[in-house]
Amino acid sequence: MSNKQITGAEIFLECLKKEKVDTLFCYPGGVVLKIFDVLYDQKDIRIILPRHEQGGVHMADGYARSTGRVCVALVTSGPGATNVVTALATAYMDSIPIVVFTGQVPTAVMGCDAFQEADVYGITAPVTKHNYLVKRVEDIPRVVAEAFHIASIGIDLLLGAVCYGASQVAVLSTGREAEAYAEPLGDGRARAVFALWPSVDVRSVKIQGKLGLPLAELKRALVVRVAERLAGEVSGVKQVISQLGISTPPAATSTPPPRTITAQNNPPPRAI
């Protein structure tokens, strides 16, 4: 048995092969050069070098549209990552299945304004279905597998609830069961991630199964998302609230009597 240790870059390459990636659109940069070193020595994945990071992700978007498969791009940290935001937004708005990997500065100097550092996690959150900040090499296989899974199932709605000691997640049922899984966050916390298929009628959504999650918070989050999707359609939102069994404050049956002001409540007029 070989005791040879493999690097994070080599693990990353093996993960791409496991997901049957045959083409990678990538633009090199400082913190991802070790990945390019292992890409140079392999023959299984075709490397497409664009002239700009944004163009590379647009190319992955177009390849995904034409093949129907999850397509992949790789860029460096800082400006390399920020350059792809427009392309990410394009794919996100059209529900195109792509996975984009970006470099990041070493964990020890994150938040210290290091060279080519940017908050890629925060910047890309509004234009992605889900994103990750990987800080441990051992998390690479799980994160890559989850990223491809999320990109491939046609998610229209993602809900997250953070709690302590979550061992189970809810199943969202809409006639066709949605995907649900737990994402460990460390320190005993976990976040439940739910995916609804685009074709489902959100008016029929309900929560089934046991929960290791704050159920009330999850229900409220679900109602907010459903309301967004229904564009504020009152009847549909009320239907979901009823199905989830969310208690609402009772309607006021009467108004309090008006306050009466009498002469006794006021001081006597001041004589001049």
Q: Is 260 a domain residue?
A: no
Q: Which of 117, 152, 187 is the last residue of a domain?
A: 152
> What is the value of pTM for the model shown?
0.60
| CA separation for the pair 82, 120 (Å, rounded) | 7
User: Residue 17 and residue 206: Cα distance in Å, rounded?
Assistant: 37
Give residue 250's pLDDT. 45
Asked whether residue 124 falls in the same domain as residue 202, the answer is: no
What confidence category does residue 61 fall into, taking pLDDT thresholds of 50, 70 and 90? Answer: very high
Q: Are both 193 and 159 inside the same structural domain?
A: yes
The per-residue pLDDT for range 205-262, each reduced to its tens digit, is 555 444 444 556 556 656 665 665 565 566 666 766 666 666 554 444 445 555 544 4
Q: Are residues 140 and 163 in the same domain?
A: no
**pLDDT number for residue 231:** 57
Does 58 or 155 have the greater pLDDT score? 58
* Domain shared by 27 and 139, yes or no: yes
- Same domain, residue pair 99 and 29: yes
The reply to whether 269 falls in a domain is: no
- Within a domain: residue 235? yes
CA torsion sign for 228, 153, 23, 65 is negative
pLDDT of residue 199: 47
Answer yes or no: do 66 and 118 share one domain: yes
Report, as an integer, the average pLDDT of 178-199.
Answer: 51
pLDDT tens digits for 134-171?
A: 999 999 999 999 899 888 875 443 343 333 333 333 44
Q: What is the pLDDT of residue 113?
A: 84
Residues 13, 125 within the same domain: yes
252 domain residue, yes or no: no
Query: Residue 11 above 60 pLDDT?
Result: yes
- DSSP annotation of 166 reads -
Asked if the structure places residue 270 within a domain, the reply is no
List the CATH number of the domain containing 74. Answer: 3.40.50.970
Range of the domain at 83: 8-152
How far is 192 from 209, CA to CA, in rounded Å? Answer: 14
Q: 147 and 158: one domain? A: no
